[in-house]
Amino acid sequence: MIQSYKKQPQLFNKYDVIVIGSGIGGLTTATLLAKSGKKVLILERHYTAGGFTHIFKRKNYEWDVGIHYIGEVQRRNSAIKKMFDYITDKKLQWADMGEVYDRVIIGDKTYDFVKGVTSFKAQMKAYFPEEGPAIDRYVDLVFQANKAMGKFYINKTLPQWMSRFLGILLTKKYLKFTDQTTYEVLSSLTKNEALIKVLTAQYGDYGLPPRQSSFAMHASVVKHYFEGGSFPIGGSGAIVSTVNEVLEAHGAQIMTNAEVAEIRIDKGRVLGVRMQDGRDIAADQVVSGVGIFNTYQQLISDRLKTKHKFEAQLKKIQPSVGHGCLYIGLKGSPESLNLPKNNLWIYPESVDHDQAVADYLEDQDQPFPVVYISFPAAKDPSWNARYPDRSTIDVITLLPYETFAQWEGTQWMHRGGKYEALKEQIAQRLLAHLFEQLPHLQGHIDHYELSTPLTTKNFANYQKGELYGIDHSPSRYRQKFLQPRTLIKGLYLTGQDIVTAGVGGALFSGLITVTAMTGRNYMNRVMRD
């Protein structure tokens, strides 16, 4: 059972490992260690566990805050499926979204992303019949980039002395892909800007438009969904519940409402953590899964920040995009409302992705650069049994933190009339996009509420309301400090900041972190399980 720290639960005097943060990176790290016999404690500042995999409930509805679809769990022996099976003892089940997983809408034209590499290429060639060679070459490069990726992340698990000898050999091929922007690669294949716009339509899954994002990040996302998308049966809350059963079976504990004030360090070595209430909890090792900015700026003493030049490191990276999500509840089942399972990606017609973002950031009365619509109630086959005659929709767009900075320091749900009026204005614009695509839903909406970057900061503790940790620009991949080991003995990092964006990246960060901590090849263990 997940316990609240406020209820003063009984704790051990000392743990082998304390994990700060219960996002999927922290949960994976904790589960791998607990299944290896380590005594593990997970501390979560929020009142519910799961990070961006958690859910919230309101007015007889349930919404997933970060999980909208997962790729590659359709294949029984894929690495990501094996990872989820290992940390949940195969209790987490998935529902396939069907042949079309993403539908891209640009003006009055639609483009379906269909499952299966052969089908995907055939569909793109049907839309762009003169671009067959470019489409084939594009798919080849996506696979080449992903093939080179493995050795790059193996290098992150190596001790520093070993990385000095092997690092260039292990990272050279992948850096050729990371150093190029997505647009640079695609524009070398075709001059058809419409094709480039369609092929890069999933940039919202990692936050940066084509001229700014690393092609390696783009290729990772694209390949991830080539075999289609899936959704956890029971909603994303099923991830935390199934992982927690495994943790409990191996003696590990998750504590919510448990905010860490600082990581305790003496003579260059971790001693444990100090909680906000002043209580010290001892541990041989501490793993932070709360993001590199939060870790180095909030949990490390000023003296050690200066000594290890952590602030100088942080200046080399940038937080990813701020976002908002309109959570919608509707009366009626997904079937009666004819809700699709596939996601919708809606873009302005007249400009490319980068220009749309630039125009919007300069003037937020300009069209949203991207509107993403997900239908979680339709994706989950257990939904009707859990919430009969109810449905939910998520509508997500870019919302700059700076737009809401004037309300910094105010309390959630009590930020004042001007804040609420701005939220309502944005909500109505997003609803207009929904009704343009599905006009029959008008009159069926029972409840809606908009999150802003301040909401994300309040609940996920990302300081700028960012969704994907740090930006996935080409320069990000050149930062050698983005690895599990830190300059402090016994302190490790996990989460999407040391791998890549999203649940898949965070999942594998746990594997990489534990491999770095123990020197053991955990992937072999996972794959043969």
Q: How big is the chain by its Cα radius of gyration, in Å?
A: 22
The model's pLDDT over 51-69, given as tens digits with 9 standing for 90+, comes to 888 899 999 999 998 899 9
φ, ψ at 60 (rounded to 5°): 65, 30
**Same-domain status, 82 and 193:** no
Look at residue 211 in the predicted model and tell me its pLDDT.
98
In a domain, 505, yes or no: yes
Q: Is the pLDDT of residue 284 over 90?
A: yes
In a domain, 110, yes or no: no
**Same-domain status, 323 and 456:** yes
24-34 vs 79-88: helix crossing angle, rounded to 10: 60
Write out the two tokens for 210: 């084509």
**Same-domain status, 294 and 416:** no
**Same-domain status, 335 and 448:** yes
Q: Which of 237, 248, 204 is nearest to 222 (CA)?
A: 204
Contacts for 388 with CB less than 8 Å, ≥ 6 apart: 333
Domain with residue 15: its CATH number is: 3.50.50.60
Q: Is the pLDDT of residue 294 over 90?
A: yes
Q: Is the pLDDT of residue 464 over 90?
A: no
Look at residue 54 in the predicted model and tell me its pLDDT.
87
pLDDT band at 462 (very low <50, low <70, confident <90, very high): confident
160-178 vs 215-225: helix crossing angle, rounded to 10: 80
**Cβ atoms 115, 101 nearer than 8 A:** yes
Question: 124: domain range?
Answer: 118-224
Q: What is the pLDDT averaged over residues 204-210?
A: 96
**Cβ atoms 49, 252 nearer than 8 A:** no
**Same-domain status, 28 and 160:** no
**Same-domain status, 209 and 277:** no
**Same-domain status, 273 and 333:** no
**Cβ atoms 399, 452 nearer than 8 A:** yes
**Same-domain status, 158 and 174:** yes
- Among 167, 200, 224, the domain boundary falls at 224
Q: Is the pLDDT of residue 467 over 90?
A: no
**Same-domain status, 241 and 161:** no
Mean of the per-residue pLDDT values of the chain: 96
In a domain, 102, yes or no: no
Contacts for 415 with CB less than 8 Å, ≥ 6 apart: 407, 454
Contacts for 177 with CB less than 8 Å, ≥ 6 apart: 141, 144, 145, 148, 185, 214, 215, 216, 219
pLDDT band at 459 (very low <50, low <70, confident <90, very high): confident
pLDDT band at 142 (very low <50, low <70, confident <90, very high): very high
The model's pLDDT over 306-323, given as tens digits with 9 standing for 90+, comes to 999 999 999 999 998 899
Domain count, the chain: 3
**Same-domain status, 24 and 129:** no
Q: What is the pLDDT averaged over residues 115-138?
A: 98
**Same-domain status, 303 and 326:** no
The model's pLDDT over 389-445, given as tens digits with 9 standing for 90+, comes to 999 999 999 999 999 999 998 998 899 999 999 999 999 999 999 999 999 999 999
- Among 224, 256, 286, the domain boundary falls at 224
**Same-domain status, 448 and 483:** no
